[in-house]
Amino acid sequence: PSKMPYANQPSVKILELTEENVKFVIENTDLSMANGVRRIFIAETPTIAIDWVQIENNTSVLHDEFIAHRLGLIPLTSDEVVDRL
């Protein structure tokens, strides 16, 4: 019987661990497993963003939707949210 790549026992080696970052190496697994771990990290990382924008009077050449979208792309930080974790 052929061995499936995910049937191996994966190993994780932590290279660096700080309050803001972790660097690690995953070995003996396939790409889908590593991608699954990546997606979990992204989903579990707390984020805040501008969700709703109301523009009263737009006199620029840019559409309201474009401005609202650009505002949503601004990375925001909150010490209050970080302190609750």
- Which pLDDT value is given to residue 1? 52
- Which pLDDT value is given to residue 62? 96
Mean pLDDT of 28-38: 89
- Which pLDDT value is given to residue 60? 95
- Which pLDDT value is given to residue 35? 93
Q: CA-to-CA distance for 21 and 14, rounded, in angstroms?
A: 11
Write the burial class of residue 68 (CB in 10 Å: 0-12 exposed, 13-18 middle, 19+ buried).
Answer: middle
Write the burial class of residue 46 (CB in 10 Å: 0-12 exposed, 13-18 middle, 19+ buried).
Answer: exposed
List residues bridging with 26 in a β-sheet: 12
Judge whether 83 and 50 are in contact, CB under 8 Å: no
Give per-residue pLDDT as tens, 34-85. 899 899 988 888 778 888 999 999 999 999 999 999 999 988 877 776 666 6
